Structures are given as structure tokens and as C-alpha cells.
Amino acid sequence: MQSPFSLTGKRALITGGSKGLGKAMARAFALHGADIAICSRNAAELESALEEILAGTHRRGVWEVADLSKREAVEPLLREVETALGGIDILVNNAGSNAPQEIDQIDDETWDRLLELNLSSCMALSRGVVPGMKERGWGRIIHISSVMGLASTAGRSLYSATKAALIGMTRAMALDLGPHGNITVNSIAPGPFLTDLPMSFFSEEARAAIATRTALGRWGNPEELAGPALLLASDAGSYITGSTLVVDGGATIRTMR
Ligand SMILES: NC(=O)c1ccc[n+]([C@@H]2O[C@H](COP(=O)([O-])OP(=O)(O)OC[C@H]3O[C@@H](n4cnc5c(N)ncnc54)[C@H](OP(=O)(O)O)[C@@H]3O)[C@@H](O)[C@H]2O)c1
């Protein structure tokens, strides 16, 4: 009997799969039988990441350079992936970035670029893969949001706006697609995970303080997002849709006293 977590025969596109959380999810999906497509802006990183993701799995894979802060990158990306692997069964909208700025410092260029990358590209990629999912009667869409979409901190107006919007879009998309067969749409709200993204703007001191605010007293390792993503990507999670799964080591459970 096949495990409900098996992804055998499925094709998954994980945006931003060259490192961090995306790479960890892509590796888990390949280990569970999926063919893998990843994209980012860096060809050399993509090439070596895909090699590591597929190592020992006998799965197929493809990488594509795509700057998802530009809408025109979406259509060629989907075309190339579908030509190489076939229709996309699992889409993980993971590529994203942050540019901490207080509200009176935000410039229009940064606002528009991050809105496109963190939110609008997720809409455009979803729009592109949904017709095939409807035809095949099976699909999984996972948006990588953030605990910053549920709560916030100073300097995160832009980031929190995009991540909260993803959570809202998750609910409405789940209602759109629910009647079309076994198609689910969910989001994951990660807390602090040790990847290049937070490392680029948190000092060592700030990182230590963040660890103490989680219930588990530490940052997450990217591999610890793989299990939650696998649940939502596989038949194991077939009755979960429109949900946001918080994976934060207990970072958001504390009251004020
Ligand atoms: N790490 C955390 O603590 C944390 C917490 C909550 C939510 N998240 C979310 O998790 C997701 C993954 O973050 P991460 O921590 O794994 O970050 P990461 O290690 O910096 O990885 C981000 C990935 O996205 C790609 N990317 C960035 N800008 C892109 C662009 N314009 N076009 C295409 N790809 C782009 C990066 O590749 P290139 O830069 O080479 O293009 C990389 O592959 C993001 O959506 C982030 O907001 C992370």
C-alpha cells in the first residue's frame, strides 16, 4: 500500500528552491517521489541545488532562471517547466523577500517590487497552473506566508501587508477551487528559520533575543518546514484547505503576561 505522504508521479514547482526553505521542501518532495522544478535569479546556485535535491532519488528535475518581481517572467517559467516535466501538480509559492523600512521611509520602487514578488507572482503562478489542475482533478497550492502576516513588528508594513494578503488569498482560492476535484490551497506561516533572509538583517544579538521568544528557545532549521509542507502537498492533507499552518516553534503563542 502506498503511503498517503507519497508524491510518486507528481510534478512540483517550488519557487525560490535554490536555498533556504524552498530547497528543504524540494528535497523532501523529491525523496517522496515527485519530479522537481525550482527557480530563482541565480543559475549557478540553482544548478548545484537541484543536484543536491535530486541526489539518490532517481527523480527528474529542471531549474529555470526567473525574476519573479517581474510579471513577464511567469509565463515563460511555466512554459519551460511544463515542457520539461509536464503539467504542474504541486505549486509552492515560496520565493520572497523582505526590506524592513518604517512607513515614512518606504519608497515606491521597493513597495512595488516586493508586492509583485511576495504576492502578485503567487497569484500569476496560481492562475497559470490552475487550468491543468482542474483538468487532472488534482492539485496542491501552498503559499509561504509568515507569522508576520498574523502579527507584526516595527518596520514591516510592506512585508506584513504581502504576507497577510497571501493568507486572505489562500482562503478565497480554496473556495474557488474546492468544487473542481481534489484541489487544495493552503498557506504556511513560518516563524524564525535560519536562512539567508533573516541572517541578512538581524544582528547576532537580535537573533539570540528572537530565539528566547519562541517556546522551543531556538530558531528553526529549514528541514523542519519539510514535514508540514509534505502534509499539505500530499494526499495525507486532502481534507485541509483554506488553512494557514503556523510553524514557528511557538513564537506566536505567548500572551503579554
Ligand atoms: N526564514 C524565515 O525566518 C522566514 C520566516 C517567515 C517566512 N519566510 C518566507 O519563506 C520564504 C523563503 O524564505 P527563506 O527564508 O528560505 O529565504 P532565502 O533563503 O533568502 O531564499 C529565498 C529564495 O527566493 C529566491 N528569490 C528571492 N528573490 C527572488 C526573485 N526576485 N525572483 C525569484 N526568486 C527570488 C532566492 O533566490 P535568489 O535571491 O537567488 O533569486 C531564494 O531561492 C519567503 O517567502 C519568506 O518570506 C521566511
DSSP string, 85-147: H-S-SEEEE-------B-GGG--HHHHHHHHIIIIIHHHHHHHHHHHHHHHHTEEEEEEE--G
Confidence of residue 256 (pLDDT cuts 50, 70, 90): confident
Atom of ligand 1 nearest to the CA of 194: 1
* Best residue among 197, 244, 247 to mutate for probing ligand 1, ranked by most atoms within 8 Å of CB: 197
φ and ψ at residue 35, rounded to 5 degrees: -80, 150
* Residue nearest ligand 1's atom 21 by CA: 20
For 35, the domain range is 11-194+222-247
Mean pLDDT of the chain: 97
Residues forming the active site: 159
Atom of ligand 1 nearest to the CA of 17: 43
- Is residue 200 assigned to a domain? no
Question: Domain with 136 in it: what CATH number?
Answer: 3.40.50.720
Provide the pLDDT for residue 199. Answer: 85
Q: Measured in angstroms, how far is the CA atom of residue 97 from the centroid of ligand 1?
A: 5
- Is residue 100 assigned to a domain? yes
- Is residue 256 assigned to a domain? no
> Structurally, how many domains does the chain consist of?
1
Q: Average the pLDDT over 173-202 and give the result.
A: 95
φ and ψ at residue 61, rounded to 5 degrees: -155, 160
**For residue 252, pLDDT beyond 90:** yes
